[in-house]
Amino acid sequence: MNPLYSSAEIRAIEQAAAAALPDGALMQRAGQAGANAALDLLPFSTANAKVLVLAGPGNNGGDALETAAHLAYAGAQVTILHFPPQSERSAERAAAMQRAQTSDARFADLDAAAIAATEWTLVVDGLFGIGLQRPLAGALRAVAETVNGLKCSVLSLDLPSGLDADTGAIVGPDGVAIHATHTVTFIGNKPGLHTCDGRDYAGLVDVSRLDIDAAHFAPARLHLNDVKFFSRHLRARRHNTHKGSYGNVAVIGGAQGMTGAPLLASRTALNSGAGRVYTLFVEDALPCDFGQPELMCRTAAGFDLEQATLVAGPGLGASPYASDMLASAIASGSALLADADALNLLAANPRLQTALAQRPGGSVLTPHPLEAARLLGCSIAEVQADRVGMARKLAAKLNAHVVLKGSGTVIAAPNGDAVINTTGNPALATAGTGDVLSGLCGSLMAQGWPMWEAALAGVWLHGMAADVLVTEGAGPIGLTAGELIPAIRVALNRMVQHHGR
Ligand SMILES: NC(=O)C1=CN([C@@H]2O[C@H](COP(=O)(O)OP(=O)(O)OC[C@H]3O[C@@H](n4cnc5c(N)ncnc54)[C@H](O)[C@@H]3O)[C@@H](O)[C@H]2O)[C@@H](O)CC1
Ligand SMILES: [K+]
């Protein structure tokens, strides 16, 4: 189910597979897969296609040379810009070079201006794959920047050159990466294509396993999110039920000037199926949410925290009373999700962290990178440089299911299992969308979903709602968090219709 492999795991699979195959078989298969992916992007009359193939100094360059030879045999006008290895390379790369040299592909020493002056149909990027060790510099950087200015399709082999396969960060400092429209990745899918800068740079990702025997693939601890991971909790509703059957949610927040945040979370919880929703205010309570009068607005003081799933944090503020409320929520026996200001209060108070980590049932945390950085005592840049690793670290540290938000949201469990989400788009980069996510996950938990599945389904639905709204033209520019709520309701009901029992 959508496994993702680190580059170390890919190399181990490759070594085991290569041992049982003739020399160069995997590079030849990669070249064939690269050519097939390229042909899909070329017009039917291949002879009119001008293809620029960038071949780097390592085995990724070998894949590119194989691809170039296939495309030339298929009749395309192929130009190869070759960056020769600094030292002796593998026999398979030498064989790929020979095949390219004996094909009709033309080797040319093009500079940036010459590349920009030609109208290419397609660029094939085989500069670097999983062996990239430092930022692109000099002529390589100039080529990447020029290619990024072209209008044509760009197919990256294995991964966009310049990107870290494990983290999705552009290798820096001050690095550049090829901005691909398509990526065909070899042996197994890679986390770096799906989080951090990966989603922007990889384009459409296709996986070619190079016909490697399934026995060589060890079980993965990291996957792409998939409805299959949580679909068994999508249950059709029974007639003979009532509001008590679908759980209570209490959102704890609403300091002065921040009443919108708990209302967004509460409205989402209600519209995604929770039976009763309480909005608890740490300062003066609103008499009612006139836009959603079904919500029960109360002051937090005196509320019995044992009677609801708790969503603590939206607009909670940083007062000592807010901190006391969070401590009570942590001490309660109720399921707990902590977001926003609750995460900042936690970051500032090691005792609260210890209490959270000792909760018998654990908890769910939904930090954005800055909140995660505060909790981990590091910088945002350090979080973004290894989103999966940092989400896992935080999950282990606080014994919590961590939802690290951002492009390619990472969901990590305390045991190290992790998932990267595939839905969502930049429309979500606006105020209040985090409150909507926390209310949604809390609502699913109140309806009996385990925390892990509630987090997976929550981020999936939240992103899907944004994707649908953008398709309809309501974003990405100017979408508001509140608009997500009815779209989430539709997406959830559709999923229950398709998958529910
Ligand atoms: N090992 C495998 O699993 C397989 C690898 N294949 C391809 O081979 C790739 C990995 O090959 P390599 O390990 O040779 O790695 P790469 O081809 O990614 O590049 C490594 C080479 O580039 C140099 N280098 C790294 N960063 C540089 C920079 N910024 N500027 C200049 N030179 C730099 C290194 O010194 C080394 O010579 C994969 O991504 C894939 O495309 C495929 O042929 C199929 C099998
Ligand atoms: K590449």
- Any idea what the CATH number is for the domain that residue 194 is in? 3.40.50.10260
Q: With respect to residue 1, please indicate whether it lies within any of the assigned structural domains.
A: no
Identify any residues that bridge with 418 across adjacent strands, giving them in sequence order.
222, 412
Q: With respect to residue 365, please indicate whether it lies within any of the assigned structural domains.
A: yes
Residue 2 assigned as binding residue: no
Residue 132 assigned as binding residue: yes
pTM reported for the whole predicted model: 0.97
**Which ligand is located closest to the Cα atom of residue 129?**
1
How far is the centre of ligand 2, averaged over its atoms, from the C-alpha of 152 (Å)? 17
What's residue 455's pLDDT? 98
- Could you list the residue range(s) of the whole structural domain that residue 442 is in? 227-499
Angle at Cα 250 formed by Cα 245 and Cα 248, nearest 5°? Answer: 5
Q: With respect to residue 2, please indicate whether it lies within any of the assigned structural domains.
A: no
| For ligand 1, mutation pick of 89, 133, 170 (most atoms within 8 Å of CB) | 133
Beta-carbon count within 10 A of 288 CB: 13
Same domain assignment for residues 194 and 282: no
Same domain assignment for residues 185 and 300: no
- Ligand 1 atom with the shortest distance to the CA of 128: 18
- Ligand 1 atom with the shortest distance to the CA of 159: 39
For residue 256, CA distances in Å to 319, 325, 432, 442 come to 11, 15, 16, 23
175 SS3 class: coil
Q: With respect to residue 15, please indicate whether it lies within any of the assigned structural domains.
A: yes
Tally of domains in the chain: 2
| For ligand 1, mutation pick of 132, 157, 190, 193 (most atoms within 8 Å of CB) | 132
What's residue 266's pLDDT? 98
Same domain assignment for residues 145 and 216: yes
- Atom 21 of ligand 1, residue of closest alpha carbon: 58
Q: Where does ligand 1 bind, in terms of residues with CB under 6 Å? A: 10-11, 14, 26-27, 30, 56-63, 128-136, 140, 157-158, 186-187
**Which ligand is located closest to the Cα atom of residue 30?**
1
How far is the centre of ligand 2, averaged over its atoms, from the C-alpha of 160 (Å)? 5
C-alpha to C-alpha distance for 66 and 230, rounded to whole angstroms: 41
Same domain assignment for residues 139 and 279: no
Residue 407 assigned as binding residue: yes
Same domain assignment for residues 238 and 364: yes
Q: With respect to residue 296, please indicate whether it lies within any of the assigned structural domains.
A: yes
Tokens of 435: 């409150």
Output the tens digit of pLDDT for each of the chain's 501 residues.
Answer: 799 999 999 999 999 999 999 999 999 999 999 999 999 999 999 999 999 999 999 999 999 999 999 999 999 999 999 999 988 778 999 999 999 999 999 999 999 999 999 999 999 999 999 999 999 999 999 999 999 999 999 999 999 999 999 999 999 999 999 999 999 999 999 999 999 999 999 999 999 999 999 999 999 999 999 999 999 999 999 999 999 999 999 999 999 999 999 999 999 999 999 999 999 999 999 999 999 999 999 999 999 999 999 999 999 999 999 999 999 999 999 999 999 999 999 999 999 999 999 999 999 999 999 999 999 999 999 999 999 999 999 999 999 999 999 999 999 999 999 999 999 999 999 999 999 999 999 999 999 999 999 999 999 999 999 999 999 999 999 999 999 999 999 999 999 999 987
Same domain assignment for residues 198 and 166: yes
Same domain assignment for residues 140 and 257: no
- Atom 13 of ligand 1, residue of closest alpha carbon: 131
Residue 380 assigned as binding residue: no
Single residue among 204, 220, 236 that ends a domain in this structure:
220
C-alpha to C-alpha distance for 451 and 246, rounded to whole angstroms: 16
Same domain assignment for residues 458 and 358: yes
**Contact present, 439 and 251 (Cβ < 8 Å):** yes
What's residue 501's pLDDT? 76
Single residue among 193, 220, 247 that ends a domain in this structure:
220
- Any idea what the CATH number is for the domain that residue 334 is in? 3.40.1190.20
Residue 203 assigned as binding residue: no
How far is the centre of ligand 1, averaged over its atoms, from the C-alpha of 225 (Å)? 28
Identify any residues that bridge with 444 across adjacent strands, giving them in sequence order.
none
Same domain assignment for residues 18 and 141: yes
Q: With respect to residue 128, please indicate whether it lies within any of the assigned structural domains.
A: yes
How far is the centre of ligand 1, averaged over its atoms, from the C-alpha of 53 (Å)? 16
What's residue 210's pLDDT? 98
How far is the centre of ligand 2, averaged over its atoms, from the C-alpha of 220 (Å)? 23
Same domain assignment for residues 188 and 237: no
- Atom 41 of ligand 1, residue of closest alpha carbon: 60
Q: Which amino acid is at 473?
A: G
Residue 368 assigned as binding residue: yes
What's residue 296's pLDDT? 98
DSSP3 helix / strand / coil % (the chain, rounded to 5)? 45, 15, 40
Residue 23 assigned as binding residue: no
What's residue 362's pLDDT? 96
| For ligand 1, mutation pick of 15, 21, 28, 60 (most atoms within 8 Å of CB) | 60
What's residue 442's pLDDT? 98
What's residue 89's pLDDT? 76
Residue 317 assigned as binding residue: no
What's residue 500's pLDDT? 82
Single residue among 220, 246, 267 that ends a domain in this structure:
220
| For ligand 1, mutation pick of 130, 134, 185 (most atoms within 8 Å of CB) | 130
Same domain assignment for residues 234 and 216: no
Q: With respect to residue 401, please indicate whether it lies within any of the assigned structural domains.
A: yes
Residue 188 assigned as binding residue: no
- Ligand 1 atom with the shortest distance to the CA of 56: 17
C-alpha to C-alpha distance for 276 and 434, rounded to whole angstroms: 21
Same domain assignment for residues 199 and 331: no
How far is the centre of ligand 1, averaged over its atoms, from the C-alpha of 102 (Å)? 23
**Contact present, 205 and 159 (Cβ < 8 Å):** no
Q: With respect to residue 334, please indicate whether it lies within any of the assigned structural domains.
A: yes
- Ligand 1 atom with the shortest distance to the CA of 26: 44
**Which ligand is located closest to the Cα atom of residue 132?**
1
The burial class, CB within 10 Å (0-12 / 13-18 / 19+), for 141 is middle
